[in-house]
Amino acid sequence: MLKFTAAFAVAASALLLAGTAAAFTPDRSECIAPAKPGGGFDLTCRIAMNGFEETKLLAKPMEVSFMPGGIGAVAYAHMNSNRRNDPSAIVAFSGGSLLNIAQGKFGQNLDENNARWLASAGADFGAIIVKADAPWKDLKELAAAVKADPTKYVVGAGGTVGSQDWMKAALFMKAAGGDAKKMRYVAFEGGGESIAALLGGHIQIYTGDAAEMKGRINDGTMRMLAVLADKRLPGDYANVPTAKEQGFDIEWTIIRGFYLGPDVNDEAYDWWVGQFKKMFAMPVYAKVQEEKGLFPFEMAGKEFDVYVKKLVAEYRQIAKDAGLTK
């Protein structure tokens, strides 16, 4: 009788553990894009939605909803006030979101610790671009010219002072030995306007993104002097050197990814992490990522949480060094 009871207890315990491991499955899944339809946040959510649809890892199709405002600030506040423990909603974010968190723009009491950072969607990388007929053949020549007179050349990009594009320009100026505060910087609405200004001669340097140069690298109108990545990018970008190769310690990864509310439990968080890791391993996901114009960058769970918080800390120091925060 005792042997039977012990065996029964072991079996019951095993069944209980198995049931617990498989307990969480969302009845519905939602990706919140913190902007209007058609932008980068929408693209990020579509990567998740299309990726899960192609890989059949969700029982029901993921829905996409929109919550514009403050490069993610409205959605961040919403998740921290109304949906802190909602396990069914993931929220898209970008490097721009993290930069604003680092500068305190998401609210005095909201920082990088007010979310459960879940997984990446992919990445883009900063780039330093000039016209094809510009006198500089590499980053060293451009840096020498900028150092000699930082007020002589106009830098332009699709973001105001303190934005990612401005930060890329400021980092280059600092690495070149110039003063970012003396930089002549012109803000445009986006990459299209910036490129038009470069080709029209209104600016001489464009601190844009690598992905938006796809198809333009070899068209004879512009030249990418450097990508701000840790290593050379694949495909059409293989011949473009990194800034590091040319002696400048500048990197700028434009990350896209997802987070959950700050009080989502470990069971739900781990389930989502597992689903993303499964999706990352499937070849069809790489196709979805490429179609959306992002480079491979796969990270989820604790490793991703550490990465995001480290990135925010770096942004906070960069903003301080640039005189944007105290």
pLDDT tens, residue by residue, 261-312: 999 999 999 999 999 999 999 999 999 998 888 999 999 999 999 999 999 9
Q: Which amino acid is at 35?
A: A
Q: Is the pLDDT of residue 205 over 50?
A: yes
40 vs 44: CA distance, rounded Å: 6
Q: pLDDT value at position 276? A: 98
Question: Hey, is 208 helix, strand or coil?
Answer: strand
Residue range(s) in the chain whose domain bears CATH number 3.40.190.150: 28-124+254-321
- CATH 3.40.190.10 range(s) for the chain read 125-252
pLDDT in tens, 4-30: 344 444 444 444 444 444 578 888 999
Distance CA 81, CA 279 (A): 30
CATH dotted code for 125-252: 3.40.190.10
Pick the CATH number of 28-124+254-321 from 3.40.50.12780, 3.90.1150.10, 3.40.190.150, 3.40.50.150: 3.40.190.150
The reported pLDDT for the residue numbered 185 is 93
The closest of 45, 141, 143, 49 to 94, measured between CA atoms, is 45
Angle at 294 between CA 168 and CA 31, to 5 degrees: 105
pLDDT tens track for 83-124? 999 999 999 999 989 999 999 999 879 999 999 999 999 999
Kindly report the average pLDDT of the chain as a whole number.
89
Q: Is the pTM of this model over 0.85?
A: no
Tell me, what's the pLDDT at 216? Answer: 79
On the CB side of 299, how many CA atoms lie within 13 Å of its CA?
17
Helix boundaries (H) for the chain: 2-21, 40-55, 73-81, 95-102, 139-148, 164-176, 191-199, 266-280, 283-291, 302-321
Predicted confidence (pLDDT) per residue in 126-182, tens digit: 999 999 999 999 999 999 999 988 888 999 988 788 888 899 999 999 899 887 878
